[in-house]
A = this chain, B = another copy of it.
Amino acid sequence: MAETPGVVRITDVAALAGVSPSTVSKALNDTGSLRPATRARVREAAERLGFVPDAQARSLSARRSFTVGLLSTDSAGRFSLPVVLGAENALVGGQISALLATARHDPVREQHHVRSLVARRVDGIIVTGRTTDPRRPIQVPMPVVYAYSPSQDPQDASVVPDDTAGMAAVGRHLLSLGRTRVAYVGGRADQAASTLRHAALAATLAERGVTLVGEPLFGEWSERWGRLAVDLVLGDHSPGEPLPVDAIAFASDQLARGGCDRLRDRGVRVPQDVAVTGYDDWDVMALASRPPLTTVDPQLDRLGQRAAELLLAAIDGRPAHGTELSPPRLVVRGSTAGDT
């Protein structure tokens, strides 16, 4: 109904309610001592005018900007985007606005953004990146929380996805299906996401005395490599012969989708002959794959939310230290379950 006119100031509300500006402030902030009737009258006047206190003026008094920076090293890509959104979502609840700053892997741009955020006197900064590999910390005079990409300084507050738990869940799931001849296909060999997931899978299987089939295969994060890796795993296997594996765990949904495609090309049934798992729960891959992928949802929005919580606590004088693990969630679908 009432639309936001030009600009409504506290004096306008005061005039309408027939009180002074200071009374309006007390009424709207639940401070001071006022008659309930007055409070209500002011509230109604503010509502009617669509009054929203000027953030600049407020931060003048509060000595805070009620703003945090979201610094994305990445161009807010597939991984940092959910984190950023989760964080923004959590901040809105705390009446805090989010300044977006994307650096696109350029240190100069990043430095520029950092300066800009400092100039804006943000109350804190959330730093996100493209990979789970540790990154160089930033130097600023306000609290910082690192999300997804942890800081190299273990004293800094970081939140990272618990890949170990995620891949362990995959391992247990495969064992529960009776699969014991499992191969692992990773992405780039120099990235934590590849190596950590491999280690977690190997360790989980080892608890039941099961060892991975062959060496872990590392390559790149593409469907293409997923297809190639399947060829490497199957070797010169031809239809009818016994298969060297009964499950393949891929380190990403993209790899797994490529893998499924190749398995189907070669006449291997998924999941009857070989169970397949992915990682990331990236819908356009996991759901479009034939069959749909059993995978791990790293719940990056929750991770971003958690980072925001830690940042708000730090701004509030209760800083956290060290790296926190954000829990993933196993999602079972047709590539292991049999039913669609």
Contacts and interface: CB of A to CB of B under 8 A. Distances in A.
Interface of A: 3-7, 50, 52-56, 59-60, 65, 67, 70, 75-76, 81, 84-85, 88-89, 92, 97-102, 109, 112-116, 118-121, 139-141, 222-224, 254, 258, 284-285, 288
Nearest to A222: B288
B222 A141 contact: no
Given A54-B119, A56-B65, A258-B288, 5 more contacts: A52-B115, A55-B119, A88-B101, A92-B116, A99-B100
A119 B7 CA distance: 9
Given A5-B141, A112-B92, A120 B102 contact: no
Tell which of A3, A112, A119, A288 has the most Cβ of chain B within 10 Å: A119
A223 B288 CA distance: 7
Given A4-B140, A5-B141, A81-B81, A121 B224 contact: no
A21 B116 CA distance: 21
A84 B98 CA distance: 14
Task: Give the 10 A-B CB pairs with smallest separation, nearest first.
Answer: A52-B119, A100-B100, A55-B120, A223-B288, A3-B139, A55-B119, A98-B100, A6-B141, A52-B115, A97-B99
A85 B75 contact: yes
Tell which of A56, A115, A254 has the most Cβ of chain B within 10 Å: A56
Given A6-B141, A119-B53, A141-B5, A98 B97 contact: no
A115 B53 contact: no
Contacts of A98: 99-101
Contacts of A120: 55-56, 97
Given A3-B139, A139-B4, A85 B56 contact: no
A99 B97 CA distance: 7
10 contacts: A4-B114, A7-B118, A52-B116, A54-B121, A55-B119, A55-B120, A56-B121, A92-B112, A97-B120, A99-B99
B288 A118 contact: no
A155 to B, nearest CB: 17
A140 B101 CA distance: 24
Contacts of A100: 70, 84, 88, 98-100
Contacts of A84: 76, 100
A114 B97 CA distance: 12
Given A6-B141, A121-B55, A141-B5, A116 B97 contact: yes
A112 B109 CA distance: 31
Contacts of A50: 115
Contacts of A76: 76, 81, 84-85
A320 B105 CA distance: 34
A282 to B, nearest CB: 9
A222 B54 CA distance: 45
Contact of A4 (B99, B109, B141): B141
Given A100-B99, A284-B284, A118 B4 contact: yes
Tell which of A65, A76, A84 has the most Cβ of chain B within 10 Å: A76
Nearest to A58: B119
A141 to B, nearest CB: 5
